[in-house]
Structure 1
Amino acid sequence: MPESIVGRVLDGRYRVLSHIADGGMASVYVALDQRLDREVALKVMRPGLASDETFVSRFRREARSAARLSHPHVVAVYDQGEDGSEVFLAMELVNGHTLRQVMKSEGPLTPRAALDILDPVLQALAAAHAAGLIHRDVKPENVILREDGMVKVADFGLARAVSAHTSTSQTGALLGTVAYLSPEQVERGIADARSDVYAAGLLLFEMLTGTKAYTGETPIHVAYQHVHSQVPAPSSRMPSVPPELDALVARATSRDPDERPRDAGEFLAELRRVRAGLGQDELDRRPAAGGVVDDTSDSTAALSRTQVVPLGAPAGTVATTGQRPERRRALPLPWVLGGLAVLVAALLGWLFLAGPLASTTVPRVVGTPQQSAMAQLTRAHLQTRITRAFDEAVKPGYVMASNPRPGADVRRGSVVTLTVSQGPERYSVPSLVGHSQAEATTTLRGDHLAVGSVRQAYDEKIPAGQVVSTSPPAGTRLKRNAPVDLVVSQGRQPITVQDFTGKPADQAVSALTGAGLRVDATQQQFSDTVAQGSVISQNPPGGTLYKGDKVTLVVSKGPQLVPVPDVVGKQQDQAAQILKAAGFNVSVQQVMGGFFGIVRQQSPAGGSKAPKGSTITLVVV
């Protein structure tokens, strides 16, 4: 491990307070989350893992999946981050002991204690299975008993992230995991909910007996037993174990996944059903014979040989764990031993050269089409898992990377993950016209794009607050987080109306039409005060309108002209009366005193037209 990071602040948030422990994949520290003012457990990955880009990418995905799992019996994952070369998880800090430590301290547990622990473990696994998550690494080290008795399950999903590394890690670390691997994980490298059920069945076996079901000095030896042997009945090592629990372990640890409970929820229901059928004395019966808990040194396979008197045995009878008294037999003949040696050698040769434990080399498939790469892996006796990623340079459908890397030696049937290019990462600008600015912002972010500049503009059709247009327009394909500019409507544009009363009508029509208003100037009236062609009245006379609204103008035809009566030769009074009756005013000019009172001239002359109300001048003699 690198030098201690105690005292450092990771990611500007987590102040490392103290070191807790080191494991195969990480070191664990107590840290203070300075943002939320709480202590957390900080799991910092080993440098070998943190420097592997494929691992880091998978680690992020699995950590996000685990963080979505919220259950009282699951160690919560709060955060995942990186700080330089440090890749870490921030998790719930649980003060207590692992199940491994408890079994080492207590020895074999009573059926009641074992079931009390396994029940919440299965609750946690059932919640994960219902959410589509598989633990893949159920073992005593990942079960924590809090100081108040609460049971917690840790490291959900992380086994998948480190699977490529545990297969090549040191023997001890691998053996600790192989002891709980299901046959399908060993043979085909695949796992589902039933694989977690298998490991949970082994937990029950170990709690009841104090020993692992399978032990060996090499990982291969342990793995071979998972594939080719049936897990022994717990009572074969601890005779006090009730037959019902033997049957429960046998069902959970069947070599055929189809014969196991289909998930932890179904296993939990069976466990509770079995428990309900056990009596109090059976549940609380202390272990009567057998082994003690493994000392966690996975290379140590020997069982304890403590001598005990079995329950119900006659006085003086003594049994040794793992053995039954039997008569000493003569040694086998040399040729029998030789034959067995040849048989074992042939079996091992087949396993390691052509069988499921044979090795193969990962071919170089980077840069080839996906189908071609899969065909090469099949010819190399390997399975394929496809993940996809964007790339600016690699053509869509071509392999960008493989994990394990090309040239790596792996077991036949192993899974090689190919990262296949999806081409350049591009996202289409969505259609946002008519959406509110807030809706447009949410939609763009959901489509991996960003909001650029936002400009306000009047629009006669789009209501205020809604998007009028985008730049680039909808359908344009952009890179991730590229900005999209928005034009947001201010509603209809207001138009200030000018009063054109008394002004020429053509000037009024031109100005109002140019402002976007409709003008009705068809109404005309005579006016003695407004010149012909000018505006007599306007409706509305002023204020604010909007484009397309109507303004009505009344245009002057000028004064009304009427015929002037001819009054020449008539008496002054008669002439004046006639003119006034016709709507005119009369002005009289007398010549020589107007002695005779006869009209000699008039202006305007009779028979012509003059504005009604105008003055007719009479010359009277």
Structure 2
Amino acid sequence: MPARNVVPPLINDRYEVGETIGRGGMATVHVGRDLRLGRRVAIKVLRPELARDATFHERFKREAQSVAALNHHSIVSVYDTGEILARTDEGVDRPFIVMEYVPGRTLRELIHEDAVTPRDAVDITLGILDALEYSHRAGIVHRDIKPANVIVTPERQVKVMDFGIARAVEDTSPALTQAQAVLGTAQYLSPEQARGESVDARSDLYSAACVLFEMLTGRAPFVGESSVDIAAQHVRDRPPAPSELDPRIGHRVDEFMARALDKDREARFQDAGQMRRALRELRPAVPEDLEATQSLRAVPGRDEDTKTLPPVPAPVPALAPPAVAPAAAAGIAAGSAAAVGDAGHGSAPVRRRRPLRTALLALLVLALLAVLGVVALQWVQGQRGGPALVAVPYVAGMDASVAETALRSADLVPEREQVYDDEVPEGDVVGTDPAADTRVEEGTTVVLEVSRGPAEVEVPDDLAGRSEEQAREALESAGLEVGSTRTANSSWVPEGAVVATDPDGGTTVPSGSEVELVVSTGRVTVPQLVGLSRQAAVAALGADEVRLSAEIVTTARSGVPAGQVVDQSVDAGQSAPQGATVTLTVAVTPAPAPEPTPEPTPEPTVPPTPTPSPEQTEEPTEESTEEPTEESTEEPAEESTEEPAEEPAEEPGADSTEEDRSDAEERADERARGQAGRADERARGQAGRADERARDDG
């Protein structure tokens, strides 16, 4: 009998089966070799009891094919799937999956060895969320996130495996279909899984939070006597804060875990990307290492395999129907008979067992009555020809096309509506209307709210002159973030107030964008003034962008046009306080050099005219010898025509001789004075011309 469960050494004439490297509630895992491609692989062979349903193989194959399409560095790749044919008539064909072989250790082993530091716990969870974000976008929910399904390589890379397998088993296993039991590992079940409700991506996030809780504290959020007890705690009890188990864990971690482990999936993180971003922000607040001690951290017990559990009713009043799928009635009735395996983590005093069992029995009876009422109501509606109801699937975070396919598969009609969203990437689904899990009639139109990305907002254009704090408040009110702050000179904005923004005010940007603030220094950049005229320099200082005063001083400067600025008290490009005074030095023309005094030209001395003796009767000889040189060069014509013609005209007599002599002397004096005057004029003219030449040369 046992022989029919033996895995053959060669599968499909291609995969060589080696030693067993893992065992679980659903399958055994063997190391193997792909003889065709010559690579090492891992071969997971499903247990015989999971393959006895006639419809299982097709569903399992379809799920394996969808998982094989996942290609992500944090997901163990699926290479192939097939069946091991039964060797005897009593045996069953057993499905198998060929996966990527990943060297490393499971997270379960690392936790049991206390080899995970708090910072390691955060990093490993980030890797798990990275894988979940990718798979959820592809429309695949894992449903069984637990340490045994996470491998950590020697390089600390995280790999998640067994995507989609739980869904195939849950949807098609005959035993589970009959009982509507819950498939999963009790320590990591979400409340909706424990109640037997439909699961979605947020259920995976709850399970990932349970794994993080265990890595941080050394124990799962809930421990109990049995798997059923643990599942019930997931439904009704508040998990302890991590700091209650280890005071060295900060309260920011407590707040994160409280949200991630909320009973209401609407209050949790809504997608893996959102949870991953929050955890990354939390990482610096997590200690790098906490030495595990017996007094502060519990030693983890033996981890459980994935099991079938009876659904746990929600803690609701007796007359209120629990949120359980209609087909769960038989499962609840058969819950006490379901195989649940060994006890979970920890132990409780023996005296608690009887009251706990009594309470559970009472809850099961109440749930049974409520579910029977729901079933009866649906039967009556069916008899009346009422329409069939279906639950709106959870498609948030999926690509819009994938979400439309999911809605059509549920016999619903998708209709897209574009909405702005700051967190959901463009083209992905933000949510649905009606909301996920709402029961509606088949054929109902469900609105898919598809993200258009962040909303467009306008940068406020009235921030100039406001204080930095006021500008920050205005930007945040507009849905923008304040980025860096830099300073700039301004002629009118007071020191510390906003001069401008980058992008400029009035610019349209995506919501949540960063805006840089430019804050005034209270100073002004002085322009280049040297070389300008006085009027131009004063105008430049008074311009709106400068607004400085000018003080003028003059200096005599040769070779520079009068009125030109030759110096400024503050150098160009330097800054000065707003409204400051800049001294301008302006050139003026130097005073003219004094004219040199010309040396006086001596007047020619005229020798006295000798008194002629009585015998001398002629004057022409005297006249001709008196001024031979000067008169001939200066005024030859005048002298030659004036005197000689008159003198011989009269015959000198005794009385006329004296008279003639006096006239001659007077004329000689006049000529001497005229010559001296002309010489003086010539000297002054020459001196003037010399001065002009000197000035021109200068």
- State the TM-score, normalizing by the size of structure 2: 0.44
If each structure's strand is expressed as a fraction of its own residues, which one has the higher value? Answer: 1
Structure with max Cα Rg: 2
- The TM-score with structure 1 as length reference comes to 0.49
